[in-house]
Amino acid sequence: MSATESPKYTVKDFASDQDVRWCPGCGDYSVLAAVKKVLVNLGIAPEQYAFISGIGCSSRFPYYMNTYGMHSIHGRALAVATGFKVAPPDMQTVVITGDGDALSIGGNHTIHALRRNVDFTVLLFNNEIYGLTKGQYSPTSPIGKKTKSSPYGSLDQPLNPLAIALAAEASFVARTVDMHPKHLQETIERAMRHKGSSFVEIYQNCNIFNDGAMAHAQDRKVRADNVVEIKHGEPMVYGKELNKGLMRKGRDVIPVTIGENGVTMDDIVRHDEHAPVGIHAQLARLKYPAFPEPIGVIRAVERPTYNDLVNDQVADAIEARGGRPDLQQLLNGNSTWEVNEQGETIGR
Amino acid sequence: MPLETPVDPSGKPITDVPNATIRFAGDSGDGMQLTGVQFTNSSAIFGNDVSTMPDFPAEIRAPAGTVYGVSGFQLQFSSSDIYTPGDEVDTLVAMNPAALKVNLSDLRPGGIIIANEDGFTPQNLKLAGYEENPLTDGSLDKYRVHPIPMTQASLRAVEELGVIGKDAARCKNFFALGVVCWLYGRPLTPILTFIQNKFAKNETIREANTKVLKAGFYLGETQELFDRSYRVPKAKLPPGTYREIHGNEAIALGLVAASELSNKSLFYGSYPITPASDILHELAKHKAFGVQTFQAEDEIAAICAALGASFGGAIGMTASAGPGIALKSEAMGLAVMMELPLIVVNVQRGGPSTGLPTKVEQADLMQVMYGRNGECPIPVLAPRSAADCFDMAIMATRIALRYMTPVVILSDGFIANSAEPWLIPSVSDMEPIKVEHPQEPNGEDDEFLPYLRDENLSRPWALPGTPKLMHRLGGLEKKDVTGAVNYEPANHQKMVNMRQAKVNKIAEFVPEQTIYNETDEAADVLLIGWGGTYGAIREANRLLIEMGHKVSNIHIRYIHPFPRNLGEILERYRGKHIIVPELNNGQLLRLIRAEYLVNARGLNKVQGKPFMVSEIVEFVDNLLTKEKKNA
């Protein structure tokens, strides 16, 4: 699956015959386009993919892909995908979910699938709103958010998807933005090439019920000052002039301007995807407007995948028995007795 | 009537009895389950038919000596076919006052009490609520009471091995077992073999338990406590190789067999719950058969993962009890909509809510029939006994794969935990389960139509990874044939009807209903049962015939759809008595009445306990006697 080979498949090969029915202007369109381009780059046949989703606007995604797919039930996509990935055949599996689907009704499955490190990619479309049910606040909506179900403002502390993924020991954690197509495509491609659970939070605009909620990260005019595009091994700089950066101060990570107060480029933290969770957790907690928000791959580490471990355990059990055991022997168990033609028990 | 035959090495007379019911009872830490299982094993190997029923508290280790910490194990063994663990207890082994208190009401007048005298301490008496020691105050005069200082006797037996204190006292259950083995002339060999294997790595404990078991046996033989022993002659059983099996074990083995017969791998998603967890424990041992077990984060994940595995082409399976099935119901609906095979086992327990987790009840029938949103038909199979679970697990898989549907196996806590001798089937006699996966598109212009149906109304099971067959499934209503999302009114009506018609068609595939004890014409009474009440109803039917009544019975194993000849049978009993004994408030009763418009009546019990044979016999006898008087 090298990207340097000439593409075996085109974007059209991955498009289903269904009309796309998202609202015009929805951020989901750009994610759909990016995913198809990534699949072209990966060069794997359409029948080798399965897209599994829960319920919500974004969860219609599988219908638009000419691959295997399942539009399951609310919150359960990761659970369905876990069984699907563990049992044969070994398919390229992508989970499509949203902030309500993966963090509210399905929060439990998100934590547990990530800790197990099932080898699939989770694309979490975060628009901070319930769109399909027409505009209630979601687990990622900010405090005070006024919606149909919170006319006086939401009282709930929002969840931080990246912090949860890191706490669950996800082996790949990233964030990207729907209106930043290049970044979006690169991030998804890296996620799909990662072996293990890869968790990607995608800032996605709901132009009907929550338009502009993430404009700070989406709007080309301002985003350079509001997001830090982090890259492994490089200093975490940002700003139109790339003159701002993140510096360590004690346990915290703070934004600084290079050249002010004696700060030089050497003071800026270099990103290490493989570092301990500590620094990654600090990065995940940086929240606009108090801080610039990191986008890109926050964490990428290797650890055994759950599906491999399950299948290895089965293979080891078979090997330990010198091949598949005899079913009759299993049914007989350890302790049997005989009854003869006369109906008499004749002992073991 | 018992027959005296005075031959025992001790010179004590031996009395032949056709059957015997024994209950071992003690603290939940006293090893009563192990004792009961070993006695059962010995009886089965001796050649009796055996039926067992463990009864344990929901608490794992309730405070010692209390009534709510009492754990019991009852078994009946017999010289003829038996179907139940027995109504009244002939011999009660009570390791402490609480065990006596909880179980005494089930002991028949004149029955034997073997009590561990050392357990009847002032503190234990107080904990059980006794003001006086019942072993000495005369309150047990209508029974034959044998107080034995089992703890002291165990301590003495192992003294020379250097085993002392708690370790020695813990052997006392083997002492009790030894005494009862003598009383009923059971061979010690199978139990000694068990001890050899169980404690293979610990010579001291092995020797201690062996000595204590033998000490108990010799006590019966040599001391003056008992004036006689009993013998239950060997039963005549069909020839073949036998083993003991529990219901949960049989379900697990049945699914492994179904996996082998269909050449499909088995994926079992599960979350621990009483009384279904033993299915997970059993399947987790059989990875060498390619079985994948997944202990999920919750009940919903368990079924969803199983369904995901089915989408991939495995046999997806999950099991739970009523509370867990409630959580799984949305995913069961998804399986109906996507028309994927899935095995869902409900090992029923007492409800509602957490209810009586370790007790038996049949009150989830309506739950598995109708407990889902929308018109959501799922086949329901109900094994009638522990051994039957094996056959029904295979049948459930046959149906699931042939009709592309989820299937419910409705077991219960009694079937799950009771053991019975099982005539082990020969694998070479089992019919393979045929599964076909399409390799080529089935429509015009190379189009794949995932909802194009075959003669069984079943849709194709295309395996992910197959070129040209890419398709999307989901919970939204499907267009007929193409499977595309569709909201048209007429299409929805058609698909709703289609899903029901497909399930109804299964009646053509499953066997006809058999009827027991019907002679040339319909009897006066038809008993209709399902599930774990099989033994009690069969035995009641036999006794009622002995009493001169005309009674027949059917035991329904296929509840949805009903067997194709059930209507015909019921028609013969129109105007007669149709009685439906159930451990609920009338669930099969309602289905039967609604489906066939017959005047069936219920005999209902919801006490967390199985039917006693006598309860059914008395009900029918009273009914017919009253009728005769009125005539």
Give tens-digit pLDDT for A149-200. 999 999 999 999 999 999 999 999 999 999 999 999 999 999 999 999 999 9
pTM of the predicted structure, to 2 decimals: 0.91
pLDDT digits (tens, 9 = 90+) for A79-117: 999 999 999 889 999 999 999 999 999 999 999 999 999
A345 three-class SS: strand
CB atoms near residue B337 (< 10 Å): 19
Q: Name the residue with tokens 């208190």.
A: B101
Quick one: pLDDT at residue B463?
Answer: 98
* C-beta atoms of A310 and B308 within 8 A: no
* Cα separation of the two ends of chain A: 59
Complex ipTM above 0.95?
yes
Task: Give the per-residue pLDDT at A347.
Answer: 63
Closest CB to B292: pick one of A63, A68, A314: A314
Amino acid (one-letter) located at A322: G
- Go through the domains of chain B in sequence order and give each one's CATH number: 3-231 (3.40.920.10), 243-426 (3.40.50.970), 444-508 (no CATH), 525-630 (3.40.50.920)
Looking at the partner chain, which of B244, B426, B470 has a beta carbon nearest the beta carbon of A66? B470
ω before B352 within 30° of 0 (cis)?
yes
- SS3 for A299? strand
| Sign of the Cα pseudo-torsion (B597, B602, B608, B611, in order) | negative
CB contact under 8 A, A109 and B297: yes
Are A83 and B297 inside 8 Å of each other by CB? no
The span from the CA of A251 to the CA of B509, in Å, is: 69
pLDDT at A283 over 80: yes
Residue A2 scores a pLDDT above 70:
no
**CB-count exposure of residue B504 (10 Å: 0-12, 13-18, 19+):** middle
Domains annotated on chain A, with CATH: 11-218 (3.40.50.970), 308-347 (no CATH)
CB-CB under 8 Å, A79 with B308 = yes
Positions in chain B whose pLDDT score sits under 50: 1-7
Unique residue bearing structure tokens 């609520």: B129
Of A63, A76, A327, the CB nearest to B260: A327
Query: Where would I find the H helices in A50-160?
Result: 77-86, 99-100, 107-116
Residue B167 vs residue A58, higher pLDDT: A58
Among residues B560, B564, B542, the alpha carbon closest in space to that of B552 is found at B542
Contacts of B309 in chain A (CB under 8 A): 83-84, 86-87
Specify the pLDDT at position B2. 40
Which residues in chain B have Cβ-Cβ distances shorter than 8 Å to A343?
235-239
Q: Which of B81, B264, B311 to mutate to test the interface with A (most CBs of A within 10 A)?
A: B311
Q: Which helix (H) or strand (E) holds A307?
A: helix A306-320
* Sheet of B107-116, strand order: B49-55, B70-78, B19-27, B89-94, B107-116, B144-148
* Burial degree of B557 (CB within 10 A; 0-12, 13-18, 19+): buried
Residues of chain A above pLDDT 90, percent? 91
Sheet holding B229-231, edge to edge: B3-5, B14-16, B229-231
B286 contacts in chain A (CB < 8 Å): 330
Amino acid sitting at position B434: K
Q: Token digits for B329?
A: 């119901």
Contact between A73 and B334 under an 8 Å Cβ cutoff? The reply is yes
- Distances in Å between the Cα of B324 and the Cα atoms of A98, B25, B418 are 26, 30, 22
pLDDT, residue B236, reads 81
- Residue-level pLDDT at A4: 55
**Contacts of residue B1, Cβ cutoff 8 Å, sequence gap at least 6:** none
CA B213 to chain centre: 30
Of the candidates B317, B27, B165, the residue with the CA atom closest to the CA atom of residue A83? B317
Cis peptide upstream of residue A139 (ω within 30 degrees of 0): no
| Distance separating alpha carbons of residues B26 and B36, to the nearest angstrom | 11
The Cα B287–Cα A312 span in angstroms is 10
Residues B362-373 have pLDDT tens digits of 999 999 999 999
Residues of chain B with Cβ-Cβ distance to A336 below 8 Å are 241-243, 424
pLDDT of amino acid B4: 40
Measured CA to CA, the distance from residue B37 to residue B538 in angstroms comes to: 24
pLDDT at B81: 80
CA atoms in the 13 A half-sphere facing the CB of A299: 30
The structure tokens listed for B194 are 């068990």
Q: How many CB pairs under 8 A join A and B?
A: 219
Q: How far apart are CA A50 and CA A91, in angstroms?
A: 7
Provide CB contacts within 8 A for B278, sequence distance 6+.
B246, B248, B249, B252, B416, B417
Sequence-distant (6+) residues with CB within 8 A of A191 are A121, A123, A172, A174, A198, A199, A200
Cβ A76–B300 below 8 Å, yes or no? Answer: yes
B255 contacts in chain A (CB < 8 Å): none
Contact A76 B291 (CB under 8 A): no
